[in-house]
Amino acid sequence: MKFLSDIFRAAKSNVVDGVSQAWPSAYQSSFSRRLRMPEQLEPSYLDEPESLSVWRLVFKIIKIGVLLMVWGFFTYVLVRMATKPNSTAVRTMFPNETLLRKVRLNSDKVAVTLRGPIDLKMMKDGSGDKNVSSVGVRMEWRDTQLNNTLKHSSMWNVYLLEKDDEFLEAEQDFKVLPPEKTEAKAVISLKADVEQPVSLLVVVEFSPLSTDHGVWYAALLLIGLYILVVFELTDRTFAALLMATTGVAILTALGNRPTLTDIISWVDFETLMLLLGMMIMVAIMSETGIFDWMAVLAYRISMGHPWPLIILLATFTSLLSCVLDNVTMLLLMAPIAIRLCEAIEVQTPLVLMVIVMYANIGGTLTPVGDPPNVIIATNPVVTKDGVDFIIFTMHMLPGVMLALLIGFAVVYLTMRKTLFKLSDRQIELAAEREANRRRLSADISVRANQMRANQSGRQCLKPSANYFETLAHLEAHHRIQDKTLLIKCLVTLVFVVACFLMHSLPFMKGATLGWVAILAAFLLLILAKMDDIEAILDQVEWSALLFLAALFVLAEAVDRLGFIEWLGEKAITVIRSVDERYQTTVALLLILWLSAILSAFVGNVPVTTMILRLNIQLFENDAIRVPLSPLLWALSYGACFGGNGTLIGASANVIAAAVAHQYGYKISFIQFFIYCFPMMLATITIAMVYLLIAHSVFAWHKT
């Protein structure tokens, strides 16, 4: 067994460059991180010159050509087609009054939006009451004098609330072809059936979005993103930006260009605030040496044996991912796992896959552990339904615990024959790093002999070869470096967890996840006396945040193109085909497996944003009776566990592959699929059984 002498160096360390390849951020900071790669291990072995090849040249030309075509398309559309302003006006309706508003149509369709004290519940039920105030809206074709109605659409009844203390919105599309033989003018007719005057904001959109082929356009956007990421044709973040911009261009070409204000409103800043705050806290916490100490503890408990050490690393990762987001945990745990793998002589890529799978499983437990959960928990409809931190965690706990236990069996069955088969590359890299390591000092030798002499005779595991020397070195060089800062970090974490738990209390309604994370980051910056804020911000994965923002825009574009509505129609058709008492069961299975498969092959972040909209549509649809909360748990399990399916399924997967690449190892798409897809299938099956028992048999959502 090779002896480790500098697993976690505390000073003069560089950034893990492979991470910056996955999330290209500003990483030239003097802010030290003990888990970064040492300077003496600059990866010269990664700088191999590419051999000249005609096929490689042809491939590059084709790739650049395709990207230029995409760029040319959205550049031409966005430059040539300006935003068409809607007609907006405030109208005060008096009893039994009819208002006519001329419209100049750019197509055969017009969209009318009313904003005011609108009773959305009654409109959704479709059960109008003659005693309730309402406004009837329809599109008409009238003669040139506007006296006679030649053609008209059906009446759209907008029911009003008794009190005007709410400002809600309702929208309807109208399509009436003009008369063939007579000159006519198009008007919007508003007929008031009210007892008291009421004011409404009327927005008329002359070029509403035409989604006749929108589903195909949306599918092309998702396929394009998948191709760019899977085949590594360009950077993951840049691919998301390309597809998001292309989505905006398609909307523009269809006559519905969104304004910059609209695009900004599509981004879920609550999610970004949560991730930003947690990244800042973890960056500061890593300076305490707590993660180094945890690696030493894992090595001590496992006595240097591979399987116990792998189980402990996976357990540590899953537990910490419950509180800290799994992307940040991979940045911290992957270098630890790589060095320990070289110490115990096991195949490094396989152990990294175990770490990343358990980061995704552990992050499923809480609303802050995984980006899909953040997106779900911060949605206004979800919070309005009463889902808070405690409720979310309670419903996810049984499935996550079962998945963690079953996962160890899956890992053993799939990796037991290959875990100890070291590749020539790993042997070469370990030998190269061994040549650069410092020798054993006299003090460490004495400490190793003392531990060997004091070892207990009754032990569950016998120490592995060279165990005491390695442990002595770890204890000597990798203790907790700053206990005062660690206490401050723990105080901040207590504040965060307390706010998360008390969010459901009436006096803590403002303690949303995003704001709590940002406020906690401010608290830790004050307590830690960090004067150099730039050094802290250098540790934030800005490219990851930009990637999520681009995916939010892409998901909204896909939604506006009608893809979510199309999925909803298909889902509702399937759910309505069964008896009402089985509709919840069918909806659970549909959402769980649909989100799992799509997350594996598209990415769990965009899938979560899309399927969450589908869940809300199913919940609000009157044709079926499906509660919202079971659909949320199914989506969370499907997106988080499904992220283990492929290398692009979750952001943490890409981070693990990037760190491995920096240290000279390669995790390919196929290799990840072979070992991790069975884990996805096993954990999704476990989640399915749990959800069926909890919500189909015992109806836990009704308690």
- For residues 218-247, give the mean pLDDT: 84
User: Has residue 193 been placed in a domain?
Assistant: yes
Q: How many domains does the chain have?
A: 1
* pLDDT recorded at residue 181: 66
Amino acid residing at 699: A
Q: Give the C-alpha separation, 167 to 115, whole Å.
A: 6
Q: Is the dihedral of CA 377, 407, 417, 292 positive or negative?
A: positive
Q: Give the C-alpha separation, 34 to 493, whole Å.
A: 21
Residue 561 confidence (pLDDT) above 90: no
Instruction: Using the CB atoms, write b or e for 146-170: b if 16+ within 10 Å.
Output: eeeeeeebeebbbbbbeeeeeeeeb
* pLDDT recorded at residue 26: 29
Per residue in 386-442, pLDDT tens?
888 888 889 999 999 999 999 999 999 999 888 888 777 777 776 666 555 555 566
* pLDDT recorded at residue 18: 34
Residue 684 confidence (pLDDT) above 90: yes
Which is nearest to 676 in space by CA: 370, 355, 321?
A: 355
- For residues 332-344, give the mean pLDDT: 76
In degrees, rounded to 5, the angle at the alpha carbon of residue 221 between the alpha carbons of residues 217 and 224 is 130
User: Has residue 318 been placed in a domain?
Assistant: no
Q: Give the C-alpha separation, 44 to 65, whole Å.
A: 32
* pLDDT recorded at residue 14: 37
Of 68-82, 221-235, 455-469, 680-694, the poorest mean pLDDT is in 455-469
Q: At 517, list the tokens.
A: 């994370």
In degrees, rounded to 5, the angle at the alpha carbon of residue 520 between the alpha carbons of residues 519 and 524 is 120
Per residue in 453-509, pLDDT tens?
777 656 666 777 677 777 777 677 667 778 888 899 889 988 887 887 676 566 676
User: Has residue 130 been placed in a domain?
Assistant: yes
Residue 16 confidence (pLDDT) above 60: no
Residue 317 confidence (pLDDT) above 80: yes
Cβ-based neighbour number of residue 319 at 10 Å: 16
Per residue in 65-84, pLDDT tens?
988 998 999 999 888 887 76
- Give the strand pairing for 110-116 and 198-205: antiparallel
* pLDDT recorded at residue 42: 40
Tell me the CATH number at 196. 2.60.120
Residue 638 confidence (pLDDT) above 60: yes
Backbone angles phi, psi at 75, to 5 degrees: -70, -45
Residue 599 confidence (pLDDT) above 90: no
Contact criterion met (CB below 8 Å) for 316 and 333: yes
* pLDDT recorded at residue 28: 33
Per residue in 82-138, pLDDT tens?
776 777 888 888 888 888 887 777 666 788 888 888 887 777 665 555 678 888 888
CA distances to 75, 115, 633 from 26, in Å: 28, 45, 36
User: Has residue 131 been placed in a domain?
Assistant: yes
Per residue in 140-198, pLDDT tens?
888 877 788 888 888 888 888 877 767 788 888 888 777 876 778 888 888 888 888 88
User: Has residue 198 been placed in a domain?
Assistant: yes
Which is nearest to 493 in space by CA: 517, 510, 513, 512?
A: 517
* pLDDT recorded at residue 456: 66
**What is the enclosing helix (H) or strand (E) of 534?**
helix 533-537
168-174 β-sheet, strand order:
87-93, 198-205, 110-116, 168-174
Q: At 181, list the tokens.
A: 């033989």
* pLDDT recorded at residue 126: 58
* pLDDT recorded at residue 244: 92
Contact criterion met (CB below 8 Å) for 641 and 591: no
Which is nearest to 45 in space by CA: 429, 436, 431?
A: 429
Label residue 39 by pLDDT band (50, 70, 90): very low
Q: Give the C-alpha separation, 472 to 223, whole Å.
A: 52
* pLDDT recorded at residue 107: 65
* pLDDT recorded at residue 241: 92
* pLDDT recorded at residue 180: 75
* pLDDT recorded at residue 400: 94
User: Has residue 210 been placed in a domain?
Assistant: no
User: Has residue 196 been placed in a domain?
Assistant: yes
* pLDDT recorded at residue 600: 86
Of 96-110, 136-150, 259-273, 302-316, the poorest mean pLDDT is in 96-110
Of 503-507, 508-512, 621-625, the poorest mean pLDDT is in 503-507
User: Has residue 30 been placed in a domain?
Assistant: no
Q: Give the C-alpha separation, 86 to 115, whole Å.
A: 14
* pLDDT recorded at residue 5: 39
Q: Give the C-alpha separation, 653 to 262, whole Å.
A: 32
Per residue in 431-452, pLDDT tens?
666 555 555 566 667 776 777 7
Quote the domain boundaries for residue 96.
Answer: 87-205
* pLDDT recorded at residue 55: 84
Of 175-179, 219-223, 457-461, 642-646, the poorest mean pLDDT is in 457-461
* pLDDT recorded at residue 675: 92
- For residues 293-309, give the mean pLDDT: 81
* pLDDT recorded at residue 258: 85
Pick 693 or 461 by higher pLDDT.
693
Alpha helices in 385-441 (DSSP H): 389-415, 424-435
